[in-house]
């Protein structure tokens, strides 16, 4: 019985490793950074490609430290006017945004 539990645990670990490898292949390498309330810095590491994130609080001064372009939007849900940031590019300090997408198509 113990050998069966060990084999099941090993198989579960292998499935987890395979799922982590496949999800990291769809990730944009690097990190995205922005300023939130009271000027506090926030960041998101290795975000997934082509997924829109809506900010739940004040967000400004976007900095793209990823390996691919991003787009920041004035409205939630990646709607409204977009401002594209290439890798290693930053938006002006006072530029507010409400959503972001990584490696937009």
pLDDT at 47: 93
| 2 or 36: which leads in pLDDT | 36
Weakest-pLDDT range from 27-31, 54-58, 80-84, 92-96: 27-31
Residue range of the domain that includes 81? 2-102
pLDDT at 67: 94
CA–CA separation, 57 vs 10, rounded Å? 42
CA–CA separation, 51 vs 60, rounded Å? 19
Q: Which helix (H) or strand (E) holds 23?
A: helix 2-25
Task: Return the closest-CA partner of residue 96 out of 41, 55, 43, 47.
Answer: 55
Number of domains in the chain: 1
pLDDT of 28 over the 60 cut? yes
Band of residue 93 on the pLDDT scale cut at 50, 70, 90: very high
Instruction: Supply the DSSP symbol for 71.
Output: E
pLDDT at 1: 53
Q: Tokens in use for 65?
A: 């430290």
pLDDT at 70: 97
pTM above 0.95, yes or no: no
What CATH code is carried by the domain that includes residue 46? 2.60.20
């Amino acid at each position: 019985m113990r050998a069966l539990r060990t084999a099941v645990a090993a198989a579960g670990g292998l499935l987890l490793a395979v799922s982590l490898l496949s999800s990291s292949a769809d990730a944009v390498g690097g990190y995205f950074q922005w300023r939130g309330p009271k000027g506090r810095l926030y960041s998101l590491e290795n975000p997934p490609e082509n997924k829109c994130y809506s900010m739940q609080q004040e967000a400004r001064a976007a900095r793209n430290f990823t390996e691919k372009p991003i787009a920041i939007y004035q409205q939630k849900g990646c709607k409204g006017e977009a401002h594209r940031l290439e890798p290693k590019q930053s938006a002006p300090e006072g530029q507010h945004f409400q959503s972001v997408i990584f490696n937009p198509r």
